[in-house]
Amino acid sequence: MKRTYVPGITDIIVVTDPAEIRTISNDSRFDRDFIGHGPVRNVRRLRKMLRIFSLNGRLFPTMLPRTNPGRAAAQDELWSRLNVRADEVKHGPAELEPLAEWSEGSELRRSSVCSCSRA
């Protein structure tokens, strides 16, 4: 754990050890209760993070406090939607199938085209 603290400017703790991360994650004092005041650098980072982890002004369910009544249901819904999309993304759009088939056979085409000898 590494802390960078300059009063009024920044107060950041970097944690990389998995056991420490789990301990902090389970500590209710570190829940997602975002406040808009504090050291300047912390507030700027918080605003940027909240912009990144939101869509149309709504935080992603994983960013909501554990005590939020709709958090669990929203996370389950998001999980379901992403699982459906993951399968579509994994297999790619159907219109790319001819390109994939052509690409799979391209090694044969390359070897026959490039098998000429150089003088």
For 31-89, the pLDDT digits (tens) are 777 877 889 998 999 899 999 999 998 888 888 888 888 989 998 998 898 888 887 77
Pair (7, 60) in one structural domain: yes
Pair (55, 75) in one structural domain: no
Q: Can you tell me the distance from the alpha carbon of 40 to that of 10, in angstroms, rounded to the nearest whole number?
A: 6
Q: Is residue 93 part of a domain?
A: yes
pTM (global) more than 0.75 = no
pLDDT band at 94 (very low <50, low <70, confident <90, very high): confident
pLDDT band at 118 (very low <50, low <70, confident <90, very high): very low
pLDDT at position 110 is 53
What does the pLDDT average to over 94-111? 72
Higher-confidence residue: 108 or 89?
Answer: 89
pLDDT band at 14 (very low <50, low <70, confident <90, very high): very high
Expressed as residue numbers, the domain containing 34 is 1-65
Pair (54, 82) in one structural domain: no
The total number of structural domains that make up the chain:
2
Secondary structure (3-state) at 6: strand
Pair (53, 8) in one structural domain: yes
Q: Is residue 119 part of a domain?
A: no
Long-range contacts of 105-111 (CB under 8 A, 24+ apart): none
As separate numbers, helices (DSSP H) first and strands (DSSP E) second, the chain gives: 5, 4
What does the pLDDT average to over 7-12? 89
